[in-house]
Amino acid sequence: MNKVLKKLNEYIFLLLPFSIISGPFLADFSIVIMGIIFIYLSIIRGEYFYYKNYFFILFIAWCVYLIVRSLFADNVYLSLQSSLFHFRFIFFSLSVWFIINNNFSILRKFTYFLLSAFFLIIFDAYFQYFVGFNLLGTEYDGYRLSSLFGSELIMGSFLIRLYPLLIGLIILNFQNNYLFILAFISYILIDILVFLSGERSAFFNLILSTLIILVLINKWKLMRLITFIISTIIIAFIIFINQSVRDRMVNLTIDQFNFAGDKLNIFSEIHSSIYLSAFKMFENNILFGVGPKMFREICYNKIYFVPDGCQTHPHNTYMQLLAETGLIGAIPIILLFFSIVYLLFKTLIIKIQRKTFLNDYQICLLVTLFITLWPVIPTGNFFNNFLNVIYFLPVGFLLHQFKNDIKL
């Protein structure tokens, strides 16, 4: 029975990229099953070291804080929707760690599955761009490609948030000429797709992650540089010939920042209003915030209200955490981000000294989490179930790689 469960967990893990593409239900259901199987197998085997580490203990303590804070929110039921079962994501990450720990060779298979999922998106998205609709019949409006994600305009976010992970896995597992050519082509196609998605945050993350990877990695550095240059040339050509794409990615960005006006916006006038509303909530609830998922509920309160400032969430990870969970809830995530910055900066310093600190695979894993936590950019809802599946997947790989550094 234990062997069957172990195999089942591995199959769910391998299929996870396709589960994410299918939508929120299957992705969330998959990680819950993975977490339950992991808890059972780890206890049966007596492998309690997965729980005896700083990361797990601090994350569970943070989740308990979120639940307690929700119990004192204005709308307890709504707030608990975000916080009550948020702990499932850490068990999902531990499950990924468990799977890799017991079958390291599965990383090679997972690379194939992740690459296949990317190529499925690539084929469907380019079909949608050139034909006008994708394989499921979703039409292209000329501004933003959605591919298999349909009305959920998150294709760019999906690609870029797992892109560094894919690069790291390819570097780790493959060195033959066949995959080199495949990677060369896929990098160019993905770069262009992230741009065509119309998601400016995703495109910024693409540039940021690429620059960090080019500076820090050793293997295939020249190949990634060449593909990025080719992608940039093609993107420039698209901007020149495609008016709608140029309007979305260039003209609208300039207009929203209001560079020519007397008031410089934070990303846009609406974003500025949202952030001001979130800051007012934080200012009046510095330690504990207003409660998870409460921004949408109380932003119309006259104390916090700002014209055009009410949305479902503040559209920035740290503004959301400060507004909804206060300093107590935000500080652990801030410290995690600075820990990643420290490791990447230390890698750079040691690299300048012609020594080695982290390998290329570990660097790519850190970059994956770095762009998720990068503060100076609009983001999705930090407590969104679907996004958290994407967020916490690389965490399992990181836990496996840095397990000796987080033990008690």
pLDDT digits 0-9 by tens, 100-130? 999 999 999 999 999 999 999 999 999 999 9
User: What is the per-residue pLDDT for 271?
Assistant: 87
The domain segmentation of the chain, as residue ranges, is 2-259+310-405
pLDDT digits 0-9 by tens, 282-314? 999 999 999 999 999 999 888 888 888 898 899
User: What is the per-residue pLDDT for 177?
Assistant: 67
pLDDT digits 0-9 by tens, 316-343? 999 999 999 999 999 999 999 999 999 9
- Residue 178: which pLDDT band, with cuts at 50, 70 and 90? confident
Residue 132 has pLDDT above 70, yes or no: yes
**Per-residue pLDDT averaged across 47-51, rounded?**
94
Tokens 């940039």 belong to which residue?
232
Read out DSSP for 80-118?
HHHHTTTTHHHHHHHHHHHHHHH-TTHHHHHHHHHHHHH
User: What is the per-residue pLDDT for 181?
Assistant: 84
User: What is the per-residue pLDDT for 19?
Assistant: 95
User: What is the per-residue pLDDT for 259?
Assistant: 58
φ, ψ dihedrals at 285, nearest 5°: -145, 60
pLDDT digits 0-9 by tens, 339-365? 999 999 999 999 998 888 899 999 999
Structure tokens at 114: 């992740």
**Per-residue pLDDT averaged across 189-205, rounded?**
93
Q: Of 101, 187, 99, 201, which Cα lies nearest the Cα of 156?
A: 201
Helix (H, G, I), strand (E, B) or coil at 220: coil
Using the CB atoms, write b or e for 122-158: b if 16+ within 10 Å: bebbbebbeeeebeeebebeeebbbbbbeeebbbbbb
